[in-house]
C-alpha cells in the first residue's frame, strides 16, 4: 500500500519574522512576484522596498500564497530572503525532496482545499491550520525526485513556449509597424526604410509613406453605423430574439463570443444593424484599452447585430481591405489617433462617429494591402500555433500532476530501469 502522510508530517511552518535590521543583500518576494498557477518566480525587489514586518525564508523553502489561494501562487524558493506575511513559509522535513514538496503545494488537490477553507469575501485567506491534516502521497525519496524531474521537464517546456510566444508577439509588433509604414515592394520584399532609400517616400498627413500610396478618411472609404440602443423603445413580444455584440465582445484584433446576449428587434432594425462578413467592429470607448479597438466580423453567428457603443465599419473593399483596416486601427498609429481625439475622463475615454469618420488611413494598392495582410496572418498563425501547443502542455501538466502526485500512476518501473546496472 502506498504511504500517505499529512502535510504537517511533510513540512514545518517557519514563523521567523523580521521588522528591522534586514540584510540589504537579500531580496524581498511579494505575492505580486509569484506568477499564478505556474510555480514561477516573476521577479523580486530589494529588502528595503518593504517597510513592514516580513517572514524570513531559506533557499528551497516552499513559499505558498495564503491570500486569495484561488490564484495558486506557490514556488520553491531559489534563494534565501524575506517575503510578505501573506505567504506561508514551509520547510520540507527530512526525507522529503524540496522540489517534490513544492509540486505538492502547487497541485490542484492542495489548491482546492486551500480555496475551500479560505475566510473572507474580498480578500479570502487560508491558514496552515486548515491545511496541515491533508493527506498527501509520500513515496520514497528516489521516487519523489523522479516525479519532480518529470514535472520539471514539462515546466521547462511550458516556460520556453511562453518565452517564444512573448518573443513572437514583439516580432509581430515590429512587423506591423514596418508593413504599415514601408509596405511590400514589387519583388515581395519589405521596402527599404526612408533612411535607406528616401527617394521611395513622400510626405503625407500620416508622415512619410511610400510614393505609390494614398491617404483617405475612413468616412470617405466606408459606411459607419452606430448600433441598436439598449433600453429604448420596448419591443414587441412578436419581434425575434437575435444575438447582439457588446463592447465586451469586441477585443483588440479578435472577437470574444463566449457570452453573446439576445435582444428583441423589429425587422427594420434587424436589417439596419445586421452584420455581414467583412464588417469591421470598433468600440466607441470605455476603458482606455477598449478605445477604438476593432475586430473583423466573419459571420461567426448566422444572424447578429451590434449595440450602439460598437461602430460597424463597412468598407469599400476594392479600395480598403477590411483586414488591412483592422490591422491599421490596432497599430500604434491608430491607437495614438483614438487617444488624441477622444473625450476623456478619469479612467474612461470615448470617440464619436465624426471622429471615427475623420480617421486617416494609408492606402496602398489593393494588391499590396492583400500582401501585407497575408504577412500579418502568417505571423498570427504562427503565434496561435504556439499558443495551442502551450494549452496542450498545460493540460498535460495538470493530468500528470494529478496522476503522479496522488500515486494513481507510479513511476517505479522507470525507477527500476534507472537503477538496473547496464550489462558489461
Q: Please name the helix (run of DSSP H) or strand (run of DSSP E) that holds residue 370, with its range, or none.
A: helix 366-404
Average pLDDT over residues 187-208: 95
pLDDT at 231 exceeding the cut of 70: no
- Candidate from 99-108, 174-183, 246-255, 413-422 with smallest mean pLDDT: 413-422
Note whether residue 109 is domain-resident. Answer: yes
What is the structure's pLDDT at 35? 93
Q: Round to whole Å and give the CA distance between 104 and 406.
A: 9
Q: Is the domain of 317 the same as that of 376?
A: no
Note whether residue 338 is domain-resident. Answer: yes
Q: Which residues contact 347 (CB under 8 A, 6 or more apart)?
A: 287, 288
Q: Is the domain of 231 the same as that of 354?
A: yes
Q: Among residues 99, 119, 138, which one ends one of the domains?
A: 138
What is the structure's pLDDT at 1? 40
* Residue 364 binned pLDDT confidence (cut-offs 50, 70, 90): very high
Name which residue leads in pLDDT, 364 or 335.
Answer: 364
Note whether residue 229 is domain-resident. Answer: yes
Q: Round to whole Å and give the CA distance between 257 and 276.
A: 16
Average pLDDT over residues 213-242: 86
- Using the structure block, give the residue that is written with the C-alpha cell 528551497: 60
217: cell is: 478618411
Dihedral (CA of 397, 399, 405, 407) sign: negative
What is the structure's pLDDT at 289? 59
What's the predicted TM-score (pTM) here?
Answer: 0.82
Residue 70: CATH number of its domain: 3.90.220.20
Q: Which residues contact 111 (CB under 8 A, 6 or more apart)?
A: 69, 70, 72
Average pLDDT over residues 118-128: 93
Percent of the chain at pLDDT above 70?
A: 92
Note whether residue 202 is domain-resident. Answer: no
Task: Tally the residues of the chain.
Answer: 424
Q: Is the domain of 354 the same as that of 410?
A: no
Conformational region of residue 56, where left means phi above 0, alpha means psi within -120 to 50, and beta covers everything else: beta
What is the structure's pLDDT at 288? 60
pLDDT at 423 exceeding the cut of 70: no
**pLDDT tens column, 33-91:** 999 988 899 999 999 999 999 999 999 999 999 999 999 999 999 999 999 999 999 99
Average pLDDT over residues 102-117: 94
**pLDDT tens column, 292-304:** 567 999 999 989 9
What is the structure's pLDDT at 44? 96
Conformational region of residue 155, where left means phi above 0, alpha means psi within -120 to 50, and beta covers everything else: alpha
For residue 148, give its domain range: 141-196+365-418
Note whether residue 28 is domain-resident. Answer: yes
Q: Is the domain of 172 the same as that of 118?
A: no
- Per the CB < 8 A criterion, the answer to whether 386 and 164 are in contact is yes
* Residue 424 binned pLDDT confidence (cut-offs 50, 70, 90): very low
- State the DSSP string of 70-93: GG--EEE-SS-EEE-TTEEEEEEP
131, 135, 69, 74: which is closest to 99 by C-alpha? Answer: 74
Note whether residue 209 is domain-resident. Answer: no
- Average pLDDT value for the chain: 91
Write the DSSP symbol of residue 248: G
Q: Is the domain of 331 the same as that of 370?
A: no
- Candidate from 95-104, 122-131, 286-295, 365-374 with smallest mean pLDDT: 286-295
Dihedral (CA of 116, 118, 119, 123) sign: negative
116: cell is: 475551500
- Per the CB < 8 A criterion, the answer to whether 323 and 180 are in contact is no
> How many domains are contained in the chain?
3
Average pLDDT over residues 251-270: 90
Q: Is the domain of 130 the same as that of 161?
A: no
Q: Is the domain of 154 the same as that of 48?
A: no
Q: Among residues 88, 119, 138, which one ends one of the domains?
A: 138
Q: Round to whole Å and give the CA distance between 306 and 225.
A: 10
Amino acid at each position: 500500500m502506498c504511504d500517505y502522510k499529512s502535510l504537517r508530517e511533510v513540512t514545518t511552518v517557519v514563523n521567523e519574522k523580521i521588522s528591522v535590521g534586514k540584510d540589504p543583500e537579500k531580496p524581498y518576494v511579494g505575492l505580486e512576484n509569484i506568477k499564478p498557477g505556474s510555480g514561477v518566480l516573476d521577479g523580486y525587489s530589494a529588502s528595503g522596498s518593504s517597510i513592514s514586518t516580513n517572514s524570513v525564508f531559506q533557499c528551497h523553502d516552499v513559499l505558498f500564497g495564503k491570500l486569495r489561494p484561488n490564484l495558486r501562487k506557490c514556488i520553491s524558493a531559489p534563494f534565501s530572503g524575506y517575503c510578505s506575511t501573506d505567504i506561508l513559509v514551509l520547510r520540507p522535513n527530512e526525507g522529503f525532496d524540496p522540489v517534490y514538496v513544492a509540486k505538492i503545494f502547487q497541485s490542484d488537490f492542495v489548491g482546492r482545499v486551500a480555496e475551500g477553507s479560505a475566510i473572507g469575501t474580498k480578500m479570502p485567506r487560508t491558514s496552515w491550520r486548515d491545511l496541515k491534516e491533508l493527506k498527501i502521497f509520500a513515496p520514497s525519496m528516489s521516487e519523489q525526485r523522479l516525479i519532480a524531474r518529470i514535472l520539471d521537464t514539462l515546466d521547462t517546456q511550458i516556460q520556453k513556449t511562453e518565452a517564444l510566444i512573448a518573443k513572437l508577439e514583439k516580432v509581430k509588433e515590429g512587423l506591423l509597424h514596418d508593413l504599415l509604414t514601408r509596405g511590400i515592394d514589387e519583388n515581395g520584399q519589405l521596402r527599404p526604410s526612408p533612411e535607406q532609400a528616401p527617394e521611395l517616400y513622400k510626405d503625407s498627413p500620416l508622415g512619410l509613406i511610400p510614393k505609390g500610396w494614398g491617404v483617405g478618411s475612413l468616412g470617405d472609404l466606408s459606411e459607419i453605423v452606430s448600433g441598436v440602443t439598449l433600453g429604448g423603445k420596448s419591443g414587441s413580444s412578436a419581434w425575434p430574439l437575435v444575438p447582439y455584440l457588446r463592447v465586451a465582445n469586441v477585443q483588440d484584433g479578435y472577437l470574444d463570443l463566449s457570452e453573446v446576449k439576445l435582444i428583441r428587434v423589429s425587422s427594420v432594425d434587424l436589417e439596419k444593424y445586421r452584420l455581414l462578413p467583412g464588417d469591421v467592429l470598433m468600440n466607441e470607448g470605455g476603458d482606455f484599452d477598449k478605445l477604438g479597438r476593432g475586430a473583423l466580423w466573419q459571420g461567426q453567428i448566422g444572424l447578429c447585430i451590434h449595440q450602439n457603443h460598437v461602430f460597424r465599419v463597412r468598407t469599400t473593399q476594392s479600395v480598403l481591405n477590411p483586414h488591412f483596416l483592422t490591422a491599421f486601427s490596432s497599430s500604434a498609429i491608430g491607437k495614438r489617433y483614438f487617444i488624441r481625439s477622444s473625450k476623456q475622463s478619469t479612467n474612461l475615454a470615448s470617440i464619436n462617429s465624426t471622429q471615427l469618420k475623420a480617421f486617416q488611413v494609408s492606402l496602398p494598392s489593393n494588391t499590396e494591402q492583400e500582401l501585407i495582410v497575408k504577412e500579418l496572418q502568417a505571423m498570427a498563425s504562427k503565434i496561435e500555433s504556439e499558443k495551442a501547443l502551450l494549452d496542450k502542455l498545460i493540460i498535460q501538466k495538470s493530468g500528470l500532476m494529478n496522476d503522479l502526485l496522488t500515486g494513481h500512476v507510479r513511476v517505479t518501473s522507470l525507477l527500476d530501469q534507472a537503477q538496473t546496472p547496464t550489462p558489461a
